[in-house]
């Protein structure tokens, strides 16, 4: 089966001492996503950090990132230090967000698991949460979560549609 290729435009927030995530961390997240979403090859390109906050505290902060997510045929990923949970006190590892006609992913460098980007890409490409602790799409998953064949089919269909746009 031919692998589908997706470019991730990764925007990394700047902290007091420079970018909050280094290339090694970013490469590991992308490699994990490529492994867990079998059949989709993800590559990374650098995005702008101008005007990007280093933490996302409100829904308005999430929405504001839409101006940085150009409609350029790539998946925009914003790496920030922390992402507040919009529904309760606390933080989350990541979120797939939509504002207007823009869809993008926000990942917390501080709170993300090694497969958070893979999980959020699953959402981006059509998957919902599940209850199976061995499934990548379960919020409280065990390390090494994978996808079912049915989930892989959904992802491939959404990726193919995304690349045709």
Q: What is the pTM of this model?
A: 0.94
Number of domains in the chain: 1
3-state secondary structure of 117: helix
Query: 36-52, pLDDT tens digit by residue?
Result: 998 888 999 988 777 78
Q: Of 85, 124, 86, 109, whose CA–CA distance to 29 is shortest?
A: 109
Boundaries of domain holding 14: 4-164
CA 42 to CA 82: how far, in whole Å? 24
Average pLDDT, the chain: 91
Which residues touch 92 (CB under 8 Å, ≥6 apart)?
A: 83, 84, 85, 108, 111
Share of the chain above pLDDT 90, in %: 73
CATH of the domain at 155: 3.40.390.10
The DSSP call for residue 114 is T
Q: Give the whole-angstrom CA distance, residue 66 versus residue 10.
A: 13
Q: How confident is the model at residue 16 (pLDDT cuts 50, 70, 90)?
A: confident
């Amino acid at each position: 089966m031919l692998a589908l290729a997706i470019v991730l435009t990764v925007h990394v927030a700047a902290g007091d001492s420079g970018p909050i995530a280094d290339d090694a961390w970013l490469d590991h997240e992308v490699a994990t996503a490529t492994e867990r979403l079998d059949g989709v090859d993800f590559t990374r390109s650098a995005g702008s950090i101008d005007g990007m906050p280093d933490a996302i505290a409100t829904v308005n902060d999430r929405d504001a990132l839409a101006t940085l997510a150009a409609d350029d045929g790539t998946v925009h990923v914003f790496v920030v230090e922390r992402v507040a949970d919009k529904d309760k006190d606390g933080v989350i590892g990541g979120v797939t967000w939509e504002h207007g006609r823009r869809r993008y992913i926000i990942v917390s460098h501080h709170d993300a698991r090694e497969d958070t980007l893979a999980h959020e890409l699953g959402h981006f490409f059509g998957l919902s949460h599940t209850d199976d602790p061995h499934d990548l799409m379960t919020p409280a998953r065990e390390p090494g979560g994978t996808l079912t064949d049915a989930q892989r089919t959904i992802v491939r269909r959404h990726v193919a549609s995304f690349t045709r746009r």
